Amino acid sequence: MPTLHALANPARFLRLAKPLTPLLSWGGIVLIAVGCWAGLTRTPPDYLQGETVRILYVHVPAAWLGMGGWSGIAVASIALLVWRHPLAGIAARAIAVPGAVFAAICLASGSIWGRPTWGTWWEWDGRLTSMLLLFFVYLAYIALAKADSDGGGDGRVPAIFGIAGTVLLPIIRYSVVWWNTLHQGQSIGLTRSTIDPSILWPLWFMLAGFTALFAGIVLMRMRAMLATAKAEARMRRMARI
């Protein structure tokens, strides 16, 4: 089995990422299609929320990946600062854009869900506000990472920012516990769920599908960034000849 340090070698990483990218991407699309079919045609409406409950099949995976994406940035940032892995900074930058997209999808789908459920498109409660802050932090990281890359930086400043941003994750996670918020409490746990199983089961297809698609997109972006860096290095060598 290859170690983490072995996978940090770009050539070895590319040999692994090339077959995994389509496998994860298309596998994720298939799982999402199955989840959509099941969620739209094979589950009953909720006894309180009616048909609007089906938004959870997009909202929950988007929230999971919005937060999980930043966790990935933090792990990659630690690897860059501590072990100086050559791919760590690229991995963090590759995660940032899809992570921001899923955070935006979480906010948009939550707003659409909230209108018929709460009677308002938006409420400045703990969960919604902290998730909005995470989205803005994503945008700030993307801008900072681009400025650092364009300026020839070593990636340390974006890495420090990536680690510092993790302070929002426990706030998002426990906001419904710490404050009396409009957002409902935790519905899905490791051992139990307050959602009826007849409604819940397609969600696992959607979670697995969106996670696989997210991973495929990240690998695709990393491969593109490595190809760009290789092409730029070749152009610089040619310019010196």
**pLDDT tens, residue by residue, 103-151:** 999 999 999 988 888 888 888 888 899 999 999 999 999 999 999 998 8
Measured from the Cβ of residue 80, the count of other Cβ atoms closer than 10 Å reads 25
Domain span including residue 229: 49-182+200-240
For residue 214, being part of any structural domain is answered with: yes
- Kindly state the tokens that stand for 37: 């079919």
**Cβ(133)–Cβ(127) under 8 Å?**
no
Model confidence over 65-84: pLDDT tens digits?
Answer: 999 999 999 999 999 999 98
Residue at token pair 């409406």: 45
- Kindly state the tokens that stand for 41: 């045609």
Q: Which of 216, 224, 210, 241 is nearest to 32 (CA)?
A: 210
For residue 17, being part of any structural domain is answered with: no
For residue 134, being part of any structural domain is answered with: yes
Amino acid residing at 139: L
For residue 75, being part of any structural domain is answered with: yes
CA distance 236 to 28: 38
Q: What is the reported pTM?
A: 0.91
Model confidence over 16-56: pLDDT tens digits?
Answer: 999 999 999 999 999 999 999 999 999 999 888 889 999 99
DSSP state for residue 53 in the 8-state scheme: G
Number of domains composing the chain: 1
Q: Report CA 42 to chain centroid distance, whole Å.
A: 28
